[in-house]
Amino acid sequence: MSKENRGLGKGLDAILGTVPNADQLRKPVGYVNKELVGSRQRENTADILRIPVDMIEANPFQPRGTFDKSALDELVSSIKTLGLIQPITVRKVAEGRFQIISGERRFRACRQAGMTAIPAFIREANDQGMLEMAIVENVQRENLDPIELALSYQRLIDECSLTQDEMADRVGKKRATVANSLRLLRLPAKVQHDIKVGLISAGHAKALLGLEDPVAQEQLCDLTISEGLSVRQLEALVRKMLINPNLKPSKTAGRQEVPEEYRRLAEHLGKYVSSDISMRRTSSGKGMMTIRFNSDEEVTRFLNALEGRED
């Protein structure tokens, strides 16, 4: 007697069984049982009330300058389907006016999703408390880029009169981690921009901090981007420049010399594509070759050559 084949392709139902009334259980979380703000005297600051969107304003201390559009769109879609799972947190600034402490991205998504009232915790907070809570919440919950993170730390120190030790305690980070982050703000504005947009990593930035000259830092940053230098290659260049301050970074400074066979290969490939062919090779023999082409015809000519056919 053969047994029924219960493969893994059945999905969760094959493992957990069918959940009865699943569609009824999967309803949006709208906090519809919560009262609208002002409908009664608030008794507990930990309670959740629904606040009309036109009574809520943005957080002036928001450390994040931009919000990723695709991630925001995903959140809008989730809210339309399931509702807002986690309420935002606000403070009352005037009669009928509330200011966001944390959750501005959720607020924007709710507004885009067409919600007219948003569930929120109402907390008491002065400007300093507001700033601290907003920055700490962002540092702990959001993917701030390295420069936004460093600027957030600096604002806590400057505007809340905190030492680095106190600030590290606030955000739950080691003091050394905070100190290394703050050092990024010593780099030239151009280099900070390249870190912010992801052209170089925080590891590259740390290597650049080994130099004091901002002009050299910018030059090495440009070289890192154009040549695709690794952090180790950049560190090696920085060490050379520290030994010889008159050394100027060049386009071949970070490259490993390639054997003659590689040059001959590049020459052969150059017969079929008119653009540059770049090669990078480590001392162990590993590497990468990039072939750029300008048209479909070049690709066809290259393919014909590989397959031993005439043009």
Q: Which residues are marked as active site?
A: 104
d(CA 208, CA 222): 11
Which of 135, 200, 220 lies closest to 173 in space, CA to CA? 135
Residue 240: partners with Cβ closer than 8 Å, 6 or more residues away: 247, 253
Please list, residue by residue across 169-195, b when 16 or more beta carbons sit within 10 angstroms of its beta carbon and e when fewer do: ebbebeeeebebbbebeebeeebbebb
| Secondary structure class of 240 (helix, strand, coil) | helix
Cα-only R_g, the chain = 28
Contact (CB, 8 A) for 68 and 132: no
Residue 51, amino acid = I
Residue 22: partners with Cβ closer than 8 Å, 6 or more residues away: none
DSSP 53: G
Which of 220, 208, 218 lies closest to 249 in space, CA to CA? 220
